[in-house]
Chains A and B, each alone.
Chain A
Amino acid sequence: MTFTDEEIERYARHLVLREVGGPGQQKLKAASVLIVGAGGLGSPAALYLAAAGIGTIVMADPDEVDRSNLQRQVIYADEDLGRPKVEAAADRLAALNPHVFVAGFHGAFDAESADRLVEGVDLVLDGTDDFGVRFCVNEACVRHGKPLVSGAIGRWTGQVGVFGRQPCYRCLVPETPPDAETCVAVGVVGALAGVIGSMMALEAIKTITGAGEPLAGRLLVYDALAAETRTVRVAGDPECPVCGSGGAP
């Protein structure tokens, strides 16, 4: 795979980075990723991954753009109101970087759609707002052996981690928390979505290029009000129903 003069100019700041360079940029161009949820986290993640030159980006989301999204979902503009998110996002990404192939799935990520969305990509990013969908994404990633970059936000707190065969996301969250807070109910500061969504893009780029130490098996917790981060290890759960001996995946 060779780069045109235009691509060399476009990716110049990556190409001079020791940890990316030509080989890393080739890996990004050859990579395909699935972004589940084109909301507060999926928006910045998709923008940075498209700008970075990821070859194929698949976005999955069942919703249309709502005015209350625009406070943080920076991939959309006022004129996108009412459009399917994946359609508006695909247009924005194509305008940002014409070298990226973008596909949208305007529907729910569930047991029925999971396998065909996950099996063809190299890496999955999950920024959905529902624990049930998160569990479904995790199960599909474990089943197909795909690295999962998981991000979550609420109020002023964000979490991001990279999961694989073990520990998987279910090792961290064993069951759906009751009365789970959603951004709709408790709010979220828009810039926090930018921070965590961008970290998700960064971890995806690190995982694909092999740069540095990804957050594999670790969870980064960002307390935006205190301006503090803490990174903790996530131990694999031997009795995890998804990746452990507690049940067949």
Chain B
Amino acid sequence: MRLTVNGETRTFEDDVRDVAGLVAALGLDTRKVAVERNLEIVPRSSYAVTALMDGDRIEIVHFIGGG
């Protein structure tokens, strides 16, 4: 599957079918980042049920808390 991650087109193995699989493949710490799929932030509890489609645009949003 081809996905655009942070503006870069990448090809992923077949085991990346949903957001949970992508998070594992990218080695993300889900306490520190949110995953945005096609301009919508996916709730963390929905990662395993949010299927990815060829051509999806993914952005990794880092949580910041400074003020």
Please determine whether B66 and A152 come into contact, CB atoms closer than 8 angstroms: yes
Whether, in the assembled complex, B27 has its beta carbon less than 8 Å from a beta carbon of chain A, the answer is no
Query: How many chain-B residues does the 8 Å CB contact rule pick out?
Result: 21
Q: Which residue of B lies closest to A37 (CB)?
A: B67
Whether, in the assembled complex, A130 has its beta carbon less than 8 Å from a beta carbon of chain B, the answer is yes
Minimal beta-carbon separation of B29 from chain A (angstroms): 8
Partner pick for A177 among B40, B42, B63, CB 8 A cutoff: B63
Q: Which residues of A sit under 8 angstroms from B34, Cβ to Cβ?
A: 172-173
Total of A-B residue pairs, C-beta within 8 Å: 98
Partner pick for B66 among A181, A221, A246, CB 8 A cutoff: A181
Whether, in the assembled complex, A235 has its beta carbon less than 8 Å from a beta carbon of chain B, the answer is yes
Minimal beta-carbon separation of A99 from chain B (angstroms): 27
**Contact digits for A222-249, partner B, Cβ 8 Å, 1 yes 0 no:** 0000000011111111111000001000
Q: Which residues of A sit under 8 angstroms from B61, Cβ to Cβ?
A: 219, 221, 232
Q: Which residues of B sit under 8 angstroms from A113, Cβ to Cβ?
A: none
Extra pairs beyond A152-B65, A175-B31 (6, CB < 8 Å): A128-B67, A157-B64, A178-B32, A181-B65, A232-B61, A234-B40
